[in-house]
Chain A
Amino acid sequence: KQEVTQIPAALSVPEGENLVLNCSFTDSAIYNLQWFRQDPGKGLTSLLLIQSSQREQTSGRLNASLDKSSGRSTLYIAASQPGDSATYLCAVTRIKAAGNKLTFGGGTRVLVKP
Chain B
Amino acid sequence: DAGITQSPRHKVTETGTPVTLRCHQTENHRYMYWYRQDPGHGLRLIHYSYGVKDTDKGEVSDGYSVSRSKTEDFLLTLESATSSQTSVYFCAISEAKTGLFTEAFFGQGTRLTVV
Contacts and interface: CB of A to CB of B under 8 A. Distances in A.
Contact of A42 (B43, B50, B105, B109): B109
Contact of A49 (B31, B102, B106, B108): B102
Interface string A93-114: 1000011111011110000000
Contacts of A46: 103-106
A43 B107 contact: yes
Contacts of A105: 42
Interface string B46-69: 001010000010100000000000
Q: How large is the interface on B (under 10, 10 to 19, 20 to 34, 35 or more residues)?
A: 20 to 34
Contacts of A34: 103-104
A52 to B, nearest CB: 9
A100 B94 contact: yes
A32 interface: yes
B78 interface: no
Contact of A99 (B43, B44, B48, B106): B48
Contacts of A36: 106
A89 B103 contact: no
State the majority secondary structure of interface residues on A: strand
A20 interface: no
A43 B104 contact: no
B74 interface: no
Contacts of A98: 50, 56
B66 to A, nearest CB: 13
Contacts, number: 60
Interface in A60-108: 89, 91, 93, 98-102, 104-107
A107 B42 contact: yes
A106 B45 contact: no
Nearest to A107: B42
A106 B106 CA distance: 17
Q: Choose among B31, B35, B90, B101 the residue with the greatest number of A CB atoms under 10 Å from its CB.
A: B101
A51 B106 CA distance: 19
Given A101-B58, A106-B42, 6 more contacts: A36-B106, A44-B92, A89-B43, A98-B56, A99-B56, A100-B31
What are the 4 tightest A-B residue pairs by CB atom distance, in nearest-first order? A100-B101, A44-B106, A49-B103, A100-B94
